[in-house]
Structure 1
Amino acid sequence: MTSDPFFADGGLRRGRLGTAHLVFFTVAASAPLTVLGGGVTTMYAVSGNIGAALGYVLIAVVLAVFATGYAAMSRYVANAGAFYAYIANGLGRAGGVAGSAVALVAYNAIQIGLYGLIGAILKDFLSAKAGIDLAWWIWALVAWAVVGLLGVLRIDLNATVLAILLVLECIVVVIFDVVSLAHPADGAITADGISPGKLFGVGFGAVLAFTIASFTGFESGAIYSEEVKDPRRTVARATYIAVAFTGLFYAFSAWALTVLTGPGNAQQATTEAGPGVVFGALDQYAGTIVADIANVLFITSVLAALLSFHNGVARYLFALGRERVLPRFLGATSSRSGAPVAGSLVQSGLAVVVFLAFAVAGRDPVIDLFTWLSGAAAVGVVLLMTLTSAAVVGFFRSRPGPETRWQRSVAPALGTVLLGAVLLVLLVNFDALLAPDTASYLKWLLPALPVAAGIVGLIWGAVLRAARPDTYARIGRVAEQGFHEPGLHPSPEPDSRVAAGRQ
């Protein structure tokens, strides 16, 4: 493979990303304009919960507790496999392989599901504005080609693209917020939409399900830990910034929507108009040009999320290929850009097969492809964060360091309990993420997918331990540059195979 000028067996390019780059990747993954236009409106329509805006603050607090231990461990663990490496170094290598399987299912699911969403909104927008009436999957193919191309280019170029798109869509959301506060229902701004008493009532479970899904991607900073300028600080800073920004920004915008419609009318308005509540208000109060720009940025918002998740999956595949957990060729990088080109191409191949299969089957790109896969992804990501929080406790249990007791054990343990509770609520209320007429078996099959993947991964980890001990010893290894503990591995299993993995 090294004879090919495009491929190399070397690592990812180091030192190309700073804190700002990681913030763009993580926030772009959750797609603020998509959250407002799709997630927030659907949350009000389904839950009927007047105080739902505070759900974003509540989940942000839970994620901040999680981020405390996650950030502390990020100073020691730099691996493009992110959660895979964290779990391997905290709960054991077989657990790490299980985590990698959950991650691959979850992040592939949300990335592929987004092709259905972008195909549908491109079809509707271009049909209305330009009279071009093509099938959704053709537009999905266009987006797929763009994402696939960017995925094999320099990571800092990707970050620049995401930064531009993210700033523009945030400006549109701010315009909506200003418009909403300037034109309140009944002429008065009310705080009912951010009243704690309103949140803990009807539809609370559905609110948590939608809000946690909106944060999917905030945790992806660790995926780029081998490419940052300062591995010990950058991931932690970016994660804290992403949690604080998205939590407050989404909560404020969700409250602004209730000001516009009136808290008591939010459910009816969003049920009848959906995203039209947002874009209709922009059209009415900010002008058609602003509304059209907002619609274009709605599309680019989804494109930015597609690119962010694509990069994440490619790096997971790279890490697993490099460590021989999956076929070795996945560890190949581009000799020109340093991008994980093999993982990128495999992810692109899987994505096109799946979304075209949905098209051939005649399934709806949003109601079926997007909602099914994004729901499964939300379960997978929360499960991953729960395991990772537990792994932080295991990692620091017998490892001395400057971290406080809060960082080493209290916050990670509390985060494990809180995330476990969120996972339970998400599973119980999973049907809230699906259309009412969705087949009943999908309400348990979809959330079972990441769980089943974890079980398969755990079995594969056990097989590797018995049949390929050298490979098993390399699982979850840490990038050596910039760290005092090269070859860092889990505390458990301190046998000769650990030493072999450090060579």
Structure 2
Amino acid sequence: MRNDAPEGYERHNVGTLHYPPPPVISAPLQKSRLIGSRELIILLFMAHPPLNLIWGAIPTAYQFSGVVALPFVVGIAGLTLMAFAVGYGSMARRIRHRGGIYSFITHGLGPAVGVGSSFVAILSYTALLASLIMLACGSTIGLAANLFGVRLPMSLCIVVATAAVVALERLRLRALVRVLLAIGLTQAAVIIWVDVASVAKPVGGDVSFHALDPAWLLTGSIGLALGLTMTAFIGSESGASYVDEVRRPERTIPRATLISYAATTVVLVISVWAISVTVGPEDMVAAAQGQLQSQTGGSGHSFVLTVIELLVGSEHALTVTELATAALALGCLASGTMRASGSSRQLSALAGDGVLPAALKPLPDGRSPLSAGCIAPVTAGLLALVIANTGTSIGVLYLITMAGLGIAGVLTLSSLATITWFLRSDDTESGFFGWEGQVVAAGFAAVTTGFVFCYGIYRLPQVVPSGHTWGWTLWAAPMLVFVCGVATVLVLRAGRSPVVARIGR
């Protein structure tokens, strides 16, 4: 194995990497600027708000995969991502760079692959942000129609939602954490009520665990189910991008990433199983039909309304649904803000490495500049306006699946980079059975996420609407931006080789 320390680091005889000293800042500024584990956990957990996943991503997975045992699939997806977090955390303890995951990939697989993966991550975050804006607007339009009898224009809602995301993304992290915590507590109250009420009113009078039976995996496409549920976890992989703004990043980032994946998995498995108790495991797929259309302002039947009618009766369902819809719309803004934040940090990290223009470099206080913070929301808002005038539900589905494929590919590359880095270096590891355990965890994550990526390329164009015409765009767009990233590094290597040596370092 090779004794290679990244540029700017020193390797001591114990085999660990020692970071360069952090910049000296005053104590008052440091206290007001840096966040700890709890705050970062809230940020990463609210990157995929649980209520939005239960009422949005999970029913969509039921709708298109047809798998009855979806809680079991969610558990598999969560375990895979927790295994990914083990390898990811081991890199985060050693490499301190604003680019986060693309820096890890650079150390393991080279700068060309690293920058290509960063371009894919930015595309995926922007596509998912556009879909979240559409979902927030669809929920708001339905809420306004029910409460005030007013049909809001979709274009106006998109502009307002885009502006709200930009404003929230510009908040300092401590202020943003407070906003996300308030939204999270609102969603937690709804989730707890739904879970308890669902188990208390089982269909047929008996609590059923059939949704957790692996035998029901054969009722549909487990590959599609795994891919669509794994998409629900997008966001936690951006934790390392906050390295400039957290205390003790070598400890905070690995812990927060693993806990956010674990907490999301537990909440989803319990909640989806509880809902299946009151709806009936075999009826969950039928109940989810039309869910995506209803969320994007179309004519489909809302899965939320179906469940709430079973819990409180049709006479009270509308009032409770309005409360849940408001929480959903806020959750979309929270999730969208985290996508915009992740994208801005990738852009500013690339600018700091010299790959993108200097105007996008991070500010002295660690935040991204306004120029970097606006690129993803404005692009997503324009994309949402285009989709709103062409085919809302189909366009949103394409954006979600494209983002899921892109991030699955990035996670695969990150896991492969972790394996390569450990095999090449002589670094030691005291946790999780030593460096061998890191390699095993990363290998499991690489195989599973790689399967999701490859299977999605093969299968998704066959099942999405108009897939025979436009299905190729689901994999072509991530592939194209990846090639652009690789080409960018090759051009830099020909004319500005010192820049290439700094990438991810």
TM-score by length of 1: 0.86
Corresponding position: 1:53 with 2:71 = yes
Equivalent position amino acid for 2:346 in 1: Y
* 1:350 corresponds to: 379
Provide, for residues 48-73 of structure 1, a one-character-per-residue CA deviation record: whole Å limited to 9, x for no partner: 32211100101111112211111111
* 2:410 corresponds to: 384
Pick aligned residue for 1:257 from 256, 275, 286: 275
Judge conservation of contact 2:351–2:361 (CA < 8 Å) in 1: yes
* 1:470 corresponds to: 498
How far apart in 1 are the matches of 2:317 and 2:142? 20
How far apart in 2 are the matches of 1:408 and 1:264? 39
How far apart in 2 are the matches of 1:394 and 1:36? 36
How far apart in 2 are the matches of 1:191 and 1:73? 39
Judge conservation of contact 1:282–1:288 (CA < 8 Å) in 2: no
Report the Cα offset of residue 287 of structure 1: 6.4
Corresponding position: 1:43 with 2:72 = no
* 1:195 corresponds to: 213
Pick aligned residue for 1:323 from 327, 330, 353: 353
How far apart in 2 are the matches of 1:94 and 1:287? 54
* 2:81 corresponds to: 63
Q: Secondary structure at the match of 1:215?
A: coil
Paired residue total: 462
Provide, for residues 422-481 of structure 1, a one-character-per-residue CA deviation record: whole Å limited to 9, x for no partner: 2223223324773x3x2523212122211221111111111111111121121002xxxx
* 2:449 corresponds to: 419
* 1:483 corresponds to: none
Distance change in 2, residues 1:288/1:125 (3 Å)? closer
Equivalent position amino acid for 1:21 in 2: E
Equivalent position amino acid for 2:165 in 1: V
* 2:295 corresponds to: none
Judge conservation of contact 1:318–1:342 (CA < 8 Å) in 2: no
For residues 448-459 of structure 1, the aligned pairs below 5 Å read 448-459=476-487
Distance change in 2, residues 1:268/1:354 (3 Å)? closer
Judge conservation of contact 1:282–1:291 (CA < 8 Å) in 2: no
Report the Cα offset of residue 320 of structure 1: 0.8
What is the root-mean-square deviation of aligned Cα atoms in Å?
A: 2.3
For residues 7-46 of structure 1, the aligned pairs below 5 Å read 16-46=34-64
* More displaced 10-residue stretch of structure 1: 48-57 or 342-351: 342-351
Judge conservation of contact 2:126–2:377 (CA < 8 Å) in 1: no
Report the Cα offset of residue 200 of structure 1: 4.1
Distance change in 2, residues 1:123/1:432 (3 Å)? farther
Corresponding position: 1:295 with 2:325 = yes
Equivalent position amino acid for 2:358 in 1: R
Equivalent position amino acid for 2:92 in 1: S
* 1:236 corresponds to: 254
* 2:343 corresponds to: 313
Equivalent position amino acid for 2:226 in 1: L
For residues 149-188 of structure 1, the aligned pairs below 5 Å read 149-188=167-206
Distance change in 2, residues 1:233/1:249 (3 Å)? same
Equivalent position amino acid for 1:392 in 2: T
How far apart in 2 are the matches of 1:408 and 1:294? 41
Equivalent position amino acid for 2:88 in 1: Y
Report the Cα offset of residue 367 of structure 1: 2.9
How far apart in 1 are the matches of 2:447 and 2:416? 9
Corresponding position: 1:400 with 2:426 = yes
Q: Secondary structure at the match of 1:449?
A: helix
Distance change in 2, residues 1:136/1:458 (3 Å)? same
How far apart in 2 are the matches of 1:452 and 1:213? 20
Report the Cα offset of residue 126 of structure 1: 0.6
Please, which runs of 5 or more residues in structure 1 have no aligned partner? Answer: 1-9, 478-503
What percentage of residue pairs aligned between the two structures are identical?
Answer: 28
Judge conservation of contact 2:87–2:418 (CA < 8 Å) in 1: yes
* More displaced 10-residue stretch of structure 1: 40-49 or 62-71: 40-49
Judge conservation of contact 2:159–2:381 (CA < 8 Å) in 1: yes
Provide, for residues 381-439 of structure 1, a one-character-per-residue CA deviation record: whole Å limited to 9, x for no partner: 000000000111222223333311334422222322222122223223324773x3x25
Report the Cα offset of residue 311 of structure 1: 0.6
Equivalent position amino acid for 1:351 in 2: A
How far apart in 1 are the matches of 2:269 and 2:77? 10
Distance change in 2, residues 1:424/1:397 (3 Å)? same
* 2:399 corresponds to: 373
* 1:363 corresponds to: 390
Distance change in 2, residues 1:281/1:471 (3 Å)? farther
Corresponding position: 1:266 with 2:284 = yes
* 2:14 corresponds to: none
Please, which runs of 5 or more residues in structure 2 have no aligned partner? Answer: 1-22, 291-300
TM-score by length of 2: 0.86
* 1:126 corresponds to: 144
How far apart in 1 are the matches of 2:467 and 2:381? 25
Q: Secondary structure at the match of 2:355?
A: coil
Distance change in 2, residues 1:433/1:244 (3 Å)? farther
Distance change in 2, residues 1:102/1:181 (3 Å)? same
Equivalent position amino acid for 1:358 in 2: I
* 2:120 corresponds to: 102
Judge conservation of contact 1:358–1:365 (CA < 8 Å) in 2: yes
Distance change in 2, residues 1:181/1:402 (3 Å)? same
Q: Secondary structure at the match of 1:30?
A: coil
Corresponding position: 1:443 with 2:471 = yes
How far apart in 2 are the matches of 1:476 and 1:31? 30
How far apart in 1 are the matches of 2:414 and 2:132? 25
Judge conservation of contact 1:282–1:290 (CA < 8 Å) in 2: no
Q: Secondary structure at the match of 1:226?
A: helix
How far apart in 2 are the matches of 1:389 and 1:174? 35
Provide, for residues 189-212 of structure 1, a one-character-per-residue CA deviation record: whole Å limited to 9, x for no partner: 111011112124432222112211
Distance change in 2, residues 1:143/1:280 (3 Å)? farther
Q: Secondary structure at the match of 1:291?
A: helix
Equivalent position amino acid for 1:303 in 2: L
Distance change in 2, residues 1:284/1:22 (3 Å)? farther
How far apart in 2 are the matches of 1:304 and 1:468? 39
How far apart in 2 are the matches of 1:352 and 1:46? 26
Distance change in 2, residues 1:432/1:119 (3 Å)? farther
Report the Cα offset of residue 347 of structure 1: 2.3
How far apart in 2 are the matches of 1:375 and 1:243? 20
Report the Cα offset of residue 129 of structure 1: 1.1
